Structure formats: C-alpha cells, structure tokens
Amino acid sequence: MDQAIMSDRVLVNGAITPLTLTGDGVLRWSGGGQRSLTVEKEVLGFVAEGSRIRIRTVLEGGGGICCGESSGGLVRKDFVFEPLSEDSQRLWCEKLREYIDSLGRPKRLFIFVNPFGGKKIASKIFLDEVKPLLEDANIQFTVQETDHQLHAKEVANRLDLSKYDGIVCVSGDGILVEVVNGLLEREDWSAAIKTPLGVVPAGTGNGMAKSLLDNVGEPCKASNAVLAIIRGHKRLLDVATISQGETKFYSILMLAWGLVADIDIESEKYRWMGSARIDFYALLRIFYLRHYTGRVSFVPAPGYEDYGEPTSFNGDSEWKIKTRQHGYRTPDVDLENLAWRTINGPFISVWLHNVPWGGEDTMAAPDAKFSDGYLDLIIMKDSPRLSLLAMMSKLNNGDHVKSPYVVYLKVKAFALEPGPRIEDPTEEGIIDSDGEVLARGKGTYMCDQKTLMTYNKLQITVDQGLATVFTPV
C-alpha cells in the first residue's frame, strides 16, 4: 500500500473513523463500508468550516452535474470530516492544499463569455455550470463579456498575462480563435501563446471542445469541459498561418472552399429557421451543385507522396520574411525546396482540418491530431448527387472520407488558387476559416462586405504545437 501523507482519526457522521491521504492522492476512510476519493480526479477543492473540513467533489453518476443527486453523468457532492483537534484540522488543510497544489491546477483564470453566440446561452451556462465548479475548486476568475466582433482579440492582445494561469472561452469556437490571433500579435507572443487556453461549449460551432472531449470518450458538455480546465491537464495544439501577401490569419480549426464554405456562410440567410437551416441549405446546394475551377498545391506528409502531380512552389517566395514589425513570425520554412504536389480542378469542395470535429455533429477529419504538425486535407472533385447525399449523412462519424469520391490526406504546407464557378464564370466562391469569412468572390452572398483577404491565392503553413490547451487527460 502507498505510504500515507497524513493519517488521523476524524468524526464522520458522528462516528470516529481513521482517515488517510495516501502518497498517490487517495483519501480513504471507513463509515458505512470502506470509502475512498481520488483527489486528482474527484476532488474539486475543500473549505474549513469551524472545526470541520468540507471536501467538494464531482463523482461519476448520472447525465449532468447536479448537487448531490444523480441524473446520469457527473454529480457534485460534499463530504464533511471533523478532525479531533485544531492542530489536526490545520495539518489536514495544509496537506490537502499541498497535494492539490502539486497537481499543477490553475488558480487564476481570465474568462471570456460571449452572450451573443449561438442560442445566446453562454451567460446562463457560465452562471449555472462554470461559476459553481470554479468556486468549489477555489479558483479565482475575472470575467469579460464580449460585446462586439474582435473584442476578445483586442483584450487578449493587451491583457496582463502574469495575473492568470489560463484563458477560458465560454462560447463557440470563434472567441477562442480571436484569442489565439490576439496573443500572436503581441510583442511578447512567444510567451503569450504558451498561456493555456480552455473552451467551454456554448456556441453554434463547438468543434474544439468536441474534439478535446470526444478524444477521451467524454460528452461535449459544459461541465466536462470545466472539469478538464480545473484539473489542469494540458496538451499542445498546432496553429496554421494563412497568408496572402502581408495579410495573415491564424487558424486552429479549419479552412473551407466550395460546398462546405457555401453551406456554412450562405445558410446565414435562413437563420430564422434555427439549426435546421444547415440541413436545408445543404440539400439545396447539393440539388443545385456548383463546381469551381482552381488548383490546390501541397507538401504531403510522409506516406501521402503519391497524391497529385509533382510541381514546383510558385507562391510568394518572399513570404517567409514578410512579417510584422512585432508579433509572431511564421516558421522559417524554405517553401521552394519542399516536395510540392498539385491537383487541378474542377472541385466541389476543398476542406482543411486541424482537429477531428468541425462542430458537435461534424467529424470532418477522423484522423486529425492536435499536434502532429500536419493539416488533414479533404477534397471532393466530383460526385453523383445521391453519393454526395450519402456522404453528407456520414459526417457525424467520419465515414464520408471512405467514399471513392473523396481524397483524404495529410499536408505540411498548402496553397489554394480559387477560381470561378464552371456553371457561371461571372460568379466566384467563399473562403471560410474557423467560422469567419476570409474572402468573398464576385457574385457571392454579401460580396459587398469587406473581408480580410481577397478571392485569390493564399498559402498555409503549420507550426507544430505552438499553442497550449486544457485537455481532459
């Protein structure tokens, strides 16, 4: 048996019983049978109340966190011990605090809440599910509600990061993307981007939260995401730099052009339909299918060298030295001397993914890894409409990539040269990254709106493990 850190007799429900904290962080006591708590997994925190110690925990039970009652998932429950002397209570508090501190959990968090995203439920999720758990875990936090686009980016860009052990986004993916872009545009970007980032699903697209939780078989729920943040486990995350001349955008999720981008962005005109708008507009787009001219070039990962035809790099050879006067500099990759391959259009869809899930119901890239240094590229050149419908129905489990009409590979660098539609060459397409429109071509939905980039060639490289995220394990 593991050597005890602390062992003493305490009162539990009026009966004196031995209580032990083992070296591997298990609290054991008797009382109605042998009982135990694993501190790392089950204990949120504790508080001294008079002569007692209240241990706040989360236990596996029913489907959602509640106070002391099981409803199918995680259950919040308090255990109360009463040491037999003041010295014993002081020592118990000291040893419990020391052990919890040794786990590397965050103590101070900066939290963004986006009250306008998705179903506008982020504020309620914060108050009902995030705040109580953080308080139980004795974590201090500062809350910032976002009130305009790029607000989170602006705050992250000037935030005093020395005051916090992490930044948490109670939102969809958009706020997290803004934070990453804000951190990478700081003068101290190299230290700033190491700040652990957490995301609690509360928006329309919860691809990052779903990817992190599903990776360990946990449901995409706010409570599970908060527990991952409290426990303080971290993992590295690749960041992709999308460049067009001097303009840059930092992506952590995906880039889409063609069918997927059209559905994602143009379905906004049917927002009054609620979540059904995506399925409705997908059917419409498949029925009136568009094909785009253009070309994609890429540097394949090992094992994918047979895809496409050999080509030389014909992008912006000065790209790697065109950087801001301050802020993140892209990896010093000699693009010209890499083994480039190319695939020519027409295309139905081109999709790049950094993580497996694009949303809670869309497993876009089943083989994607968080920090392998590659992006997963999913290409559809042509497909019968019925096969396309069948593919779309398999997006919830990733089986669409098994279709003979899908090309699926991993790439280290990528260049997109988008062209007009074959059906009407006067109309072009939309390029979408992480839920934001990067470029709107001629004749597209809301094409008069200003975008970060133009509907022209852009390049992408990946910086392996540049960012850090809180993860369940």
Distance CA 296, CA 254 (A): 16
Identified catalytic residue from 8, 173, 238, 432: 173
Mark whether 173 is an active-site residue: yes
Residue 444 identity (one-letter amino acid):
T
The CA distance from 358 to 392, in Å, is 13
**Residue with structure tokens 């979540």?**
275
Which residues are designated catalytic? 173
